[in-house]
Structure 1
Amino acid sequence: MNSPTHTFIVDQLSAHVYPDVEGLGEAAAAAFAQAIRDAVADHGSARAVVATGNSQYPIMAALSQHDLPWDVVTVFHLDEYVGIDANHTASFRKWIRERVEERFHPAQVNYIDGDAPDAEAEAARYDALLREAPLDVIAMGIGENGHIAFNEPHLALFDDPQWVRVVDLDDTSRQQQVNEGHFPTFDDVPRQALSVTVPALLSAGTLVVSVPEKRKAAAVSATLREDVSTAVPATALRNHSRAFLLLEPESYSDYAATLASPVQ
């Protein structure tokens, strides 16, 4: 596996820059797999939360290289659009079903029902599922506007009493979904989603944060340089002692440009 070219820490967040996207994915998969093994060794099972979207393709591609005890792993996901059915091409349930459940066959996959008749009730149901036992590991990314899950700038609550809530999507987040090819037009993107909140994310034992691509470079730089606040929700990751931010040269580029000399 490729070794990182740079490793550094900002507050408690450990950042690692890999030579290419493939190396990033391999490192993310290795960290995720180790967290699963550690959890199983410690208490006989593991509870994992898996993000979706383009940033998670590298880790999913590399995760098949690891022989994991999926028969004792329970999987959750981070978010789902309100009003989207499970077979919609942009559904996060569909993403996880095809890339996690059908590929790895975990013991259980708990899905957020995006087209539940009562979104608030669905948020409460999923909240209760997440709280049944500690979350061992989360594989996640950072949005172009600095969101984590769908906790949007200035709307995220770092002290949210809920672990899942209905959220209004920022226009930048909606446009990102179009640019990634998940919806044909901006107006096709739902205005709301069900999202795991920041306190739920930070409750997990390990956070594996994969962020490839140049379009995420500004968000990465803001995550590492701005004050910890809801203006950039991803800055909350700097408060987690086992959060690992995995980058490659393009996603690292804006932050690198702010340094007087390369971080070694």
Structure 2
Amino acid sequence: MRHNLEILDDPDAVATRAADEVALHAINAVSDHGRFTFAVSGGHTPWNMLAALATRDLPWQNITVFQVDERVAPDGDPDRNLTHLRESLGAAAAQLVPMPVTDADLEAAAHRYAELLPARFDLVHLGLGPDGHTASLIPGDPVLTVTDRLIALTRPYQGRPRMTLTYPALARADHLIWLITGANKRTPLRKLLAGDSTIPAGRVEAARSFVLADKDAAGS
């Protein structure tokens, strides 16, 4: 998959540029087919992006925001992406469809969430870990081999099991936007741009992919 790359000065510039891009996709999608479906990952830069987005004059009643992945933790826990997504979006958090990670039967909950997903996402936001993971598609985890489900559960990673979109779900994205910041992302970013399938992020497929990276991540 070919990635279009734009390099910006720092994480704040990445977040602001990303908010501009997401807003444009939202306006175009609502104009074209009446709704904008957006899936978002966690992380400080995307939370800043969403906080900037929440201040925009957008047709929020026609926007639905899904989660790309989530840690299995109680409601309100600081480990939960949802906690920070709600803080960032403010009133616009009403458009969120949270992953049901507090359910007793997580497999059944994952199946129910999959049934809520659109046939196509207008836009999916992804990050990139120093180990090359994206979403919660983690090196060495059986989730990497899942092809028959849109949502799957991982083994514990950094202290928590996760619920995540799978590769088939990410392939439903008409557009991907990657936000990649920090010097510890230089090697995985290089591999991502090269389509290196030895990292989980390198196996993601979508119609179009746009990478926003800061200078620390891009290096030379």
TM-score, normalising length: structure 1 = 0.76
Moved over 3 A (4+): 154-159
- Residues 243 and 226 (structure 1 numbering): CA distance in 2 closer, same or farther, change over 3 Å? closer
Contact 2:15 2:48 in 1 (8 A): yes
CA deviation digits over 1:69-102, x for unaligned, max 9? 11111111111222x11111211221222212x2
Contact 2:170 2:206 in 1 (8 A): no
Q: Which residue of 2 aligns with 1:104?
A: 92
Q: Which residue of 2 aligns with 1:134?
A: 120
Q: Which residue of 1 aligns with 2:150?
A: 163
Post-superposition offset of 1:57: 3.4
Post-superposition offset of 1:61: 4.1
SS of 2:178 mapped into structure 1: strand
Contact 1:49 1:78 in 2 (8 A): yes
Q: Does 1:212 align with 2:212?
A: no
Count of paired positions: 219
Distance 2:145 2:17 in 1: 28
The answer for unaligned runs of 5 or more in structure 1 is 1-10, 175-188, 257-264
Distance 1:54 1:213 in 2: 11
Post-superposition offset of 1:19: 2.3
Which letter does structure 1 place at the counterpart of 2:182?
E
- Residues 217 and 57 (structure 1 numbering): CA distance in 2 closer, same or farther, change over 3 Å? farther
Which letter does structure 2 place at the counterpart of 1:160?
T
1:119 paired residue among 95, 106, 111: 106
- Residues 120 and 205 (structure 1 numbering): CA distance in 2 closer, same or farther, change over 3 Å? same
Which letter does structure 2 place at the counterpart of 1:28?
A
Contact 1:86 1:94 in 2 (8 A): yes
The answer for unaligned runs of 5 or more in structure 2 is none
CA deviation digits over 1:138-158, x for unaligned, max 9? 122111211111001243537
1:150 paired residue among 127, 131, 136: 136
Contact 1:81 1:193 in 2 (8 A): yes
Contact 1:56 1:140 in 2 (8 A): no
Structure 1 vs Structure 2: percent identity of aligned residues? 27
Which letter does structure 2 place at the counterpart of 1:136?
D
TM-score, normalising length: structure 2 = 0.90
